[in-house]
């Protein structure tokens, strides 16, 4: 009887505390990456609690900010129920989320955080350096709900209705032809870097920049830009001076690292093409980057798989489709994916088709698309192809501006463009 009374009193006090507490909206403190993680979970149908003091059920996620301003996401994994209907000496267990993929898949830390519930239905738990007061109630038919409140002065943090993140991020701030930039699409996890392509200057064939940029709606666009006279394209940027680097030998290994000095003989004042000046030498189990910039596979005995020396990982999304993660991009496919002898294949009509072309290479061949929206791997005439979909502005009757949907298919084995699908009226339009 006393235990039931203590539980009742605590619940009343908790309700009074929640009613009198000041709710603090902390949306302004969220990073773009944190907003994206919240979106990925919600879009995958996961329940994520964004405010202190709300019920958390088993399988639910809880979002908060740590003391250093970085986000932390935890998940209520288990509730250990005692035989009593009172929450006396029950236990709860949380996991810490390390990563969340664009498909909403959560990777948890091996560590678990547990707390014992007292007879009064309360407890305390420390996660990510934050101390939470924990309350827990259950009945003989309901396994129980958990409430977390930080041990602070009568404040409730809320991250509700914070809006969507900026879906397209450009490192050089837009169309900057004099600096190499990289754009990242958060929804599809596609990342593309400005490159040099063949231009119209016969004296300098590599005089054109293939520039990636972001539209305001969060999608990606591309533009072919001819470097002006006196400049040439080097590593995705128009430069007036061609860097010529020379380097000393790597010094002895100190504290697991070797270093060297490098200098530009032409004194260009830029570091676009500067070689690597340090490398790991203390642990052969780790992956290191050599001077050529290519990845060396790990030596830990676990078989890894690659496309052109780029490591690949495979997962399945909530729709049962395979996701090929490479170059920080996530490529969706309904085809069966085979990982064998460090290579990656897709199966078509019982035959394995090796993926030899990187997504970035396929996208660079979709020159008729200026605003790329989606890339996936499909079957086309018994071939495995990248299907790249997007839009491009055209002028119908050479006057009326219109947005055209365009699709390019690129063979994953050879890199050949298999098909370019345009609107039926494309012959009436300029620019497509």
| Segment 211-255, tens digit of pLDDT | 999 998 888 899 889 888 878 888 788 888 877 788 888 888 888
Please compute the mean of the pLDDT values over residues 379-402 and round it to a whole number: 84
Q: Please determine, for residue 375, whether its predicted confidence score (pLDDT) is greater than 60.
A: yes
pLDDT of residue 89: 58
Tell me the three state secondary structure of residue 160.
coil
Task: Express as a percent the part of the chain with pLDDT over 90.
Answer: 15
Tell me whether residue 199 is in a domain.
Answer: yes
Per-residue confidence (pLDDT) for residue 10, from 0 to 100: 44
Pair (17, 122) in one structural domain: yes
Confidence of residue 47 (pLDDT cuts 50, 70, 90): very high
53 pLDDT above the threshold of 80 = yes
Residue 318's pLDDT band (boundaries 50, 70, 90)?
A: low
Distance CA 149, CA 123 (A): 11
Are 144 and 75 members of one domain?
A: yes
Is the model's pLDDT at 294 over the cut of 70? no
Q: Please check the confidence at residue 19 and state whether its pLDDT lies above 80.
A: no
Is residue 37 assigned to a domain? yes
* 295 in a structural domain: no
Count: domains in the chain: 3
Mean pLDDT of 326-330: 79
Strand bridging mode 71-80 / 61-65: antiparallel
- Which 8-state DSSP code applies to residue 246? E
Is 179 a member of any domain? yes
CA distance 136 to 132: 13
Give yes or no for residue 310 having a pLDDT over 70. yes
Same domain, 388 and 422: yes
Q: Taking 80 as the threshold, does the pLDDT of residue 73 lie above it?
A: yes
Q: What local confidence, expressed as pLDDT, does residue 214 receive? A: 93
Task: Check residue 317 and give its pLDDT.
Answer: 66
Residues 6+ apart with CB under 8 A from 431: 392, 393, 394, 395
Do residues 223 and 353 share a domain?
A: no
**What does the block give as tokens for 290?**
């050599």
φ, ψ at 195 (rounded to 5°): -135, 165
Mean pLDDT of 299-314: 73
b/e map 219-235, b = 16+ CB within 10 Å: bbbbeebebeeebbbbb
Residues 6+ apart with CB under 8 A from 307: 326, 343, 344, 355, 356, 357, 358
Assess whether 272 and 191 both reside in one domain: yes
Q: Are residues 142 and 115 in the same domain?
A: yes
The pLDDT of residue 386 is: 94
pLDDT of 60 reads: 92
Q: What is the pLDDT of residues 188-200, one digit of tens each?
A: 878 888 888 765 5
Shared domain for 115 and 174, answered yes or no, is no
Mean pLDDT, to the nearest integer, of 18-29? Answer: 75
Predicted local distance difference test score (pLDDT) of residue 176: 92
- The answer to the question of residue 244 being in a domain is yes
Please tell me whether residues 363 and 426 are part of one structural domain: yes
Residue 62 pLDDT grade (very low, low, confident, very high; cuts 50, 70, 90): very high
Task: Return the pLDDT at 18.
Answer: 46
Averaged pLDDT score across all residues of the chain: 79
Nearest to 259 by CA among 237, 282, 236, 243: 282
* pLDDT mean over 94-98: 90
- The answer to the question of residue 289 being in a domain is no
More confident of the two residues 178 and 298? 178
| Predicted confidence (pLDDT) at residue 5 exceeds the cutoff of 60 | no
- If asked whether residues 255 and 388 sit together in one domain, one would say no
Asked, for residue 291, whether it belongs to a domain, the answer is no
Q: Is there a single domain that holds both residue 152 and residue 20? A: yes
The answer on 178 and 144 residing in a single domain is no
Q: Which of 89, 124, 158 is the last residue of a domain?
A: 158
Average pLDDT over residues 339-346: 87
**Do residues 113 and 127 make contact, with C-beta atoms less than 8 angstroms apart?**
yes
Q: Can you give the CATH number for the domain in which 20 is found? A: 2.60.98
Burial class (CB in 10 A: 0-12, 13-18, 19+), 135: buried
Classify residue 287: in a domain, yes or no.
no
CA distance 122 to 3: 12
Q: Note down the domain range covering 258.
A: 168-280
Tens digits of residue pLDDT in 411-427: 999 888 888 888 888 77
User: What pLDDT score does 314 carry?
Assistant: 85
Between residues 68 and 5, the one the model is more confident about: 68
Residues 235 and 358 placed together within one structural domain of the fold = no
Q: Which residues is 54 bridged to in the sheet? A: none
Among 17-31, 38-52, 70-84, 354-368, name the most confident range. 38-52
How confident is the model at residue 202, as a pLDDT? Answer: 46
Q: What pLDDT, in 10s, does the model give residues 131-179? A: 888 887 766 555 567 888 876 657 788 899 888 899 999 998 889 998 8
């Amino acid at each position: 009887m006393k235990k039931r009374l203590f539980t009742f009193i605590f619940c009343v006090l908790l309700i009074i505390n929640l009613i009198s507490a000041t709710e603090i909206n902390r949306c302004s403190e969220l990073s773009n990456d944190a907003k994206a993680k919240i979106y990925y979970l919600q879009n995958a149908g996961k329940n994520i609690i964004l405010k202190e003091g709300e019920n958390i059920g088993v399988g639910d996620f809880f979002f908060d900010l740590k003391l250093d301003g970085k986000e932390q996401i935890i998940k209520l994994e288990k509730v250990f129920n005692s035989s009593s209907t009172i929450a006396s000496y029950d236990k709860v267990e949380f996991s810490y989320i390390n990563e969340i993929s664009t498909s909403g898949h959560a990777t948890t830390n091996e560590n678990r955080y547990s707390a014992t519930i007292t007879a009064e239905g309360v407890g305390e738990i420390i996660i990510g350096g934050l101390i939470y007061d924990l309350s827990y109630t259950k009945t003989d038919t309901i396994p129980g709900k958990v409430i977390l409140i930080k041990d602070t002065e009568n404040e409730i943090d809320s991250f509700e209705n914070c809006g969507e993140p900026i879906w397209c991020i450009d490192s050089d701030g837009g169309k900057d032809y004099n600096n190499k930039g990289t754009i990242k699409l958060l929804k599809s996890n596609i990342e593309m870097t400005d490159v040099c392509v063949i231009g119209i200057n016969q004296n300098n064939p590599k005089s054109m920049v293939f520039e990636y940029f972001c539209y305001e709606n969060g999608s990606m666009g591309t533009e072919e830009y001819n470097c002006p006279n006196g400049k040439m394209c080097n590593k995705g940027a128009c430069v007036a001076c061609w860097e010529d680097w020379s380097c000393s030998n790597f010094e002895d290994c100190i504290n697991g690292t070797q270093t060297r000095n490098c200098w530009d003989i032409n004194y260009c004042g830029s570091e676009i093409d500067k070689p690597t000046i340090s490398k790991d030498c203390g642990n052969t189990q780790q992956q290191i980057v050599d001077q050529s910039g290519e990845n060396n596979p790990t030596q830990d005995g676990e078989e890894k798989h690659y496309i052109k020396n780029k490591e690949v990982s495979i997962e399945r999304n909530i729709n049962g489709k395979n996701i090929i993660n490479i170059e920080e991009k996530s490529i969706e496919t309904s085809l069966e994916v085979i990982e064998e002898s460090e290579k990656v294949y897709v199966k078509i009509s019982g035959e394995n088709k090796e993926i030899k072309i990187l997504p970035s290479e396929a996208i660079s061949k979709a020159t008729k698309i200026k605003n790329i929206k989606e890339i996936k791997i499909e079957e086309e005439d018994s071939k495995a192809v990248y299907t790249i979909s997007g839009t491009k502005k055209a002028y119908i009757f050479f006057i009326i501006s219109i947005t055209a949907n365009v699709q390019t298919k690129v063979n994953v084995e050879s890199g050949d463009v298999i098909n370019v699908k345009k609107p039926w009226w494309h012959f009436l339009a300029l620019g497509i």
